[in-house]
Amino acid sequence: MIIRVLGSGAGGGFPQWNCNCNNCSGVRNQTIKATPRTQSSIAISNDGEHWVLFNASPDIRAQIEAFPGIQPHHGVRDTGISAVVLCDGQIDHTTGLLILRESPKPLEIYCTRMVRDDLESGFPIFNMLGHFCGINHHEIPFDGSAFTIPGIDDLCFYTHALKSKAPPYSPHRENPHAGDNIGILVKQISTGKTLYYSPGLGEIEPQVETAMTNADCILVDGTFWTDSEMIDAGVSKKTARSIGHLPQSGSGGMIEVMDALEKPRKVLIHINNTNPILDEQSEQRNILTQHGIEVAFDGLEIEL
């Protein structure tokens, strides 16, 4: 199984266009050692030719141009993207679908019914795409059961619901439903190797703990270092946990969770522009290294 990190940043990317926090100004002015990041998305393949795109970020065009493996290789119009799996209906995970509107055939999109409903109402991307390439929606379960994708041989996908909020534009924003957000376990049938992917985690529920414990590699929420990070940076009045993200530090944080895991390779993704771990020479980055935790970057490739 080949995993390609197309984008490793949180919503807005890094640096964020309107942000002058220490990280964003530092990477622009080259006063810190840091690498710019586009908004989070990964692609997975078993053969290096047919790829499943997980979330479609607003930066998808640049991500495709940076990755020859997913670019067109056959005919005048072509793509290596066989299907798109959506973890949620958030702007930074779905807006890229509009960039893919020039597809010569309907996009094969896999998501829960709740995500489909949001993308047909509060943020009607699916309706808009109907005027261009169109979509074929495949409803996926969120009870831990499996599904497969035609043409993606040797890979099986298991999904489960996560506790988190629906997007701000969802008709049920303040009334969460199972299926608003999902975590995904990808298993290669021939080898038994598994990846657990969840760019947004607000709580380590039993099904999440089981998936993380048994996976060979985990690519999970690395959005914030502390719960009050955005407040301390003066960019928001919201805490990490209030918007569905478990911070890395502190009691019950992601570092503590990962320390209990012996099997998987541990990688953080969906890094917010305010997170000090983006500074490769920071104390916080050094702490992660000491705990055996990696920080994803655009272009990272993992083979299992």
- Torsion, Cα 236 247 1 178, to 10 degrees, reads -80
Give me the pLDDT at residue 106, please.
Answer: 97
For residues 212 and 232, the answer to whether their CB atoms sit within 8 Å is: no
Q: Cβ neighbours of residue 20 under 8 Å, at least 6 residues apart? A: none
The 3-state DSSP class for residue 99 equals: helix
Q: What is the CA radius of gyration of the chain?
A: 18
The token pair that represents 6 in the structure block: 């197309």
Q: Cβ neighbours of residue 238 under 8 Å, at least 6 residues apart? A: 230, 231
Burial call 210-247: b when 16+ CB within 10 Å, e when fewer: ebbeebbbbbbbbbbbbbebbeebebeeebbeebbbbb
For the chain, the domains span 2-303
Q: In the 8-state DSSP scheme, what is residue 284? A: H
DSSP 211-258: HHHH-SEEEEE---SSTTHHHHTTS-S--TGGGT---SSSTT-HHHHH
The token pair that represents 69 in the structure block: 């493996």
Angle at 14 between CA 163 and CA 68, to 5 degrees: 95
Going residue by residue through the chain, which has 304 residues, state the pLDDT in tens, using 9 for 90 and above.
999 999 999 999 999 999 999 999 999 999 999 999 999 999 999 999 999 999 999 999 999 999 999 998 787 887 999 999 999 999 999 999 999 999 989 999 999 999 999 999 999 999 999 999 999 999 999 999 999 999 999 999 999 999 877 899 999 888 888 999 999 999 999 999 999 999 999 899 999 999 999 999 999 999 999 999 999 999 999 999 988 899 999 999 999 999 999 999 999 999 999 999 999 999 999 999 999 999 999 999 999 9
Give me the pLDDT at residue 73, please.
Answer: 79
Give me the pLDDT at residue 56, please.
Answer: 98
Q: In the 8-state DSSP scheme, what is residue 34? A: -
pTM above 0.85, yes or no: yes
Give me the pLDDT at residue 72, please.
Answer: 82
Q: Cβ neighbours of residue 124 under 8 Å, at least 6 residues apart? A: none
Q: Which CATH superfamily is domain 2-303 in?
A: Ribonuclease Z/Hydroxyacylglutathione hydrolase-like (3.60.15.10)
